[in-house]
Amino acid sequence: MFTIALAFQTTESYGGVTGKIRGVVKDATTGEPLPGANVVVVGTSFGAAAAEDGKFIILYLPPGTYELRTSMIGYRTAISQNVKVEADRSTHIDFIMEEAVLEGEEIVVVAPIELVKLDVSASETRVTQEDMANAPFANRVEDAIGFQSGIQGNLIEGEMQIRAGDATEAAILVDGYSMVDPNFNRSIVTIAPSSVEEITVIRGGYNAEYGKARSGIVNIVTSTPSQDFHVDLDYQLNPARQRHAGSSRYSENNFWRQELYGSESSMEPNYVVRVEGITPDTIRWEGWNAYAERLLTDANPDNDLTAEEARELWNWRHRPITYDDVTGHNIALTLSDGYKFTDDWRMSVMSTLSWEKQPFAYPQPIDAYQSKTILYKVINDFGHKHKLTLLGTHNLTNTVTRNYSTSNWDVYDEISYGGGDSEMFYPGRKPLNDRTASLIGLKYQYLASDTRILEADMNYFRSNWEIRHSAAASEADGRYFHGRLYLDPQSGWIPKHIWSDEQQDWVLNPLARTDDVTNYNMFGGGVTWDDSYGRRFNLKLSMTDQFHPAHELKAGMEITANKIVENRKHWHDDSPEKEYITTAHTEPLVFAAYVQDKVEFSGMVANFGLRLDRYDPNGEFSPMGVIDYATLGLAFD
């Protein structure tokens, strides 16, 4: 005989998100099982009755720490505290009950700490909300994940690697929903730690229900809204400071050219000896007097400068940029509450608003990475058999590209958290990179029997990218030298080419001026434009049945419809004549079905499963723009 008494609580309950508690109830004197003993999870509607062999199972519990209470007529009530439940795992708790001498007697024990997890069939690591709160530097979910062994790369930038696998080989899930951008197959995760109950990192041997994962899975389970009003505010201040080791990049030790070209002695011939490695390098300078005389006596009147003007111009264009005065902020506000409309209808709501501003280590077109996110979770419990859960998260990220976006073959530019490459005196070379991402999921759950749950789940994911140059340098910020306007390279983007209405073509920008002394181009760059976007609609149907104490059967299917639109343009070498265009509009379809059996014995667990995936491109990839000069005029279709 196998009996489970189960009632619903307002919480998520599907594979990868919930766990279970199992154990046995015995008589302390005889060691005999006590069938019919009631085991309940205090503060919830979950519970079970012990079977004839004294065994019980409580299914579909969300991750967290609970208190169990076991009672039976004629016996003292037994209480087990600090019982930890983890997603996709079974927690074993046994009760030894003593006969009661006085009515109402209780025995309280603390659940033992599990030193070795015997019921795990894969290499995995779990991070709880308590772990994140105790970690001194884990102010983001990405930090908590990155601290785990075998994890490399920056999840914020979409480059997380598990066991040295490629970033496209990892599946990132939030409450079972994929957070992988369909366009570039990179993860987008921006969730505040206060919204997370547990994170599981699985490095291999995962169940058949998980698809599109080769190197590993990161499964993030959000917190369950509380039944009473709850407020959580987390604020971290990142004071203004220099955010890299060593001295300022504009110090004499790092910028030795200042002494050679910008000092009082620079008017006359001078030199410096640079020792990098074994061989010294002597760098000579003719002096501003000789430089100005050469300009004033050549045949070009448009480059004339006096010695004083030339040195002042050089010093102005190479003045240090202050980059240690930006303050960082990381704030997350979580509100949670519960409502009871009728005896059979309860609703709990959680919402988290978060904002992060992370100053860049070196000067960029903007001074910091910024991310704004709203997450909300609404759970409707209709009686003990029906439940409807809504989860949504929306994010806006403003930053720069990690690199300069100079390759004509790139179709993807990573967002940058720390700033990445940086020009010393012309930050406008780096493009801006803005991204929006949204996920909305709706799940319906039906408790068909004490052991069986049916689920229908649909979710929609969208992402939009916008890569462009920064704001153009203003003439009002420039200065005149010898009657000519020089734009300030620190005030914005200076294009190499501008459009001529008269010639109806792109022409060289007369205000794009090179530093003749160092041959440094204080203009150009930022000539990548990308407004690609992705959409994904996913429908899942599944059934989970604990049909035997040792067997949990799960079967399901899912259909995914994608829309992938690429619209990217790049000028190679800053030249409009070397325009490279990537366009694509595809709507692939994916179908998957699986069946799996989780077999649990004492001290051992095994997962057996079978999965079918079918991919339909549903169209052809659009041809890319081909650069004639790169193929000697031979364009390939």
User: Who contacts 265 (Cβ-Cβ below 8 Å, separation ≥6)?
Assistant: none
The radius of gyration of the chain's CA atoms, rounded to the nearest angstrom, is: 32
Q: Report the C-alpha gap between 23 and 41 in whole angstroms.
A: 13
Name the pLDDT band for 15 (thresholds 50, 70, 90): very low
Q: How high does pLDDT run on average in the chain?
A: 86
Angstrom distance (rounded) from CA 364 to CA 523: 14
The CATH number that domain 19-110 falls under is 2.60.40.1120
Residue 566: name the closest of 553, 580, 577 by CA. Answer: 580
Integer Cα distance of 14 and 542 in angstroms: 9
Least confident of 28-42, 161-175, 509-523: 161-175
Which string of b and e fits 486-519 if b means at least 16 CB within 10 Å?
bbbbbbbbbbbbeeeeeeeebeeeebbbebebee
For 556-596, give the secondary structure using H, E and C: EEEEEEEEEEEEEEEEHHHCHHHEEEEEEEECCEEEEEEEE
Distance CA 31, CA 96 (A): 8
Q: Domains of the chain: which residue ranges?
A: 19-110, 257-319+479-496+509-521
CA dist., res. 371 & res. 356, Å (int): 5
Which candidate, 140, 218, 132, 138, places its Cα nearest to that of 175?
218
Confidence of residue 111 (pLDDT cuts 50, 70, 90): low
User: Letter for the amino acid at 156?
Assistant: I
pLDDT tier, 603 (very low <50, low <70, confident <90, very high otherwise): low
With a cut of 80, say whether residue 120 has pLDDT above it: no
Backbone angles phi, psi at 146, to 5 degrees: -65, -25
Report how far residue 491's alpha carbon sits from residue 475's, in angstroms, rounded to the nearest whole number.
10
- d(C-alpha 367, C-alpha 359), whole Å: 6
User: What is the tens place of the pLDDT at every residue in 121-133?
Assistant: 557 788 887 777 7
pLDDT tens for residues 240-251?
Answer: 999 999 999 999
pLDDT at 483: 94
Q: What does the pLDDT average to over 406-414? A: 76
CA-wise closest residue to 608 among 533, 549, 554: 554
CB distance 194 to 334 below 8 Å? yes
Per-residue pLDDT reduced to its tens digit, 531-582: 999 999 999 999 999 888 889 899 999 999 999 999 999 999 899 999 988 8
SS3 label, residue 192 = coil
Q: Please give the structure tokens belonging to residue 363.
A: 């000067």
Task: Note whether 23 and 37 are within 8 A (CB).
Answer: no
Q: pLDDT at position 159, please?
A: 77
Q: State what percent of residues in the chain have pLDDT above 90.
A: 50
Least confident stretch, 1-10, 173-182, 348-357, 547-556: 1-10
How far, in Å, are 281, 434, 485, 512 from residue 402 at the CA level?
A: 32, 12, 32, 24
The number of angstroms, rounded, from the C-alpha of 29 to the middle of its chain's C-alpha atoms is: 55
Q: What is the dihedral of CA 544, 548, 552, 555, to 10 degrees?
A: -50
Nearest to 419 by CA among 482, 365, 469: 365
Q: Which two tokens stand for residue 83?
A: 């019982």
Q: Flag the least confident range among 207-216, 253-262, 326-335, 337-346.
A: 207-216
Q: What is the pLDDT of residues 287-303, one digit of tens each?
A: 999 999 999 999 999 99
Rounded Cα distance, 332 and 314, in Å: 46
Geometric angle at alpha carbon 377, from 372 and 381, rounded to 5° = 175
User: Can you name the residues that pair with 570 across neighbouring β-strands?
Assistant: 528, 580
**Residues forming beta bridges with residue 96, ordered by sequence position:** 26
Phi, psi for residue 322 in degrees, rounded to 5: -75, 120
Report the relative pairing of strands 230-238 and 270-275 from DSSP bridges: unpaired
Is 59's pLDDT higher than 90? Answer: no
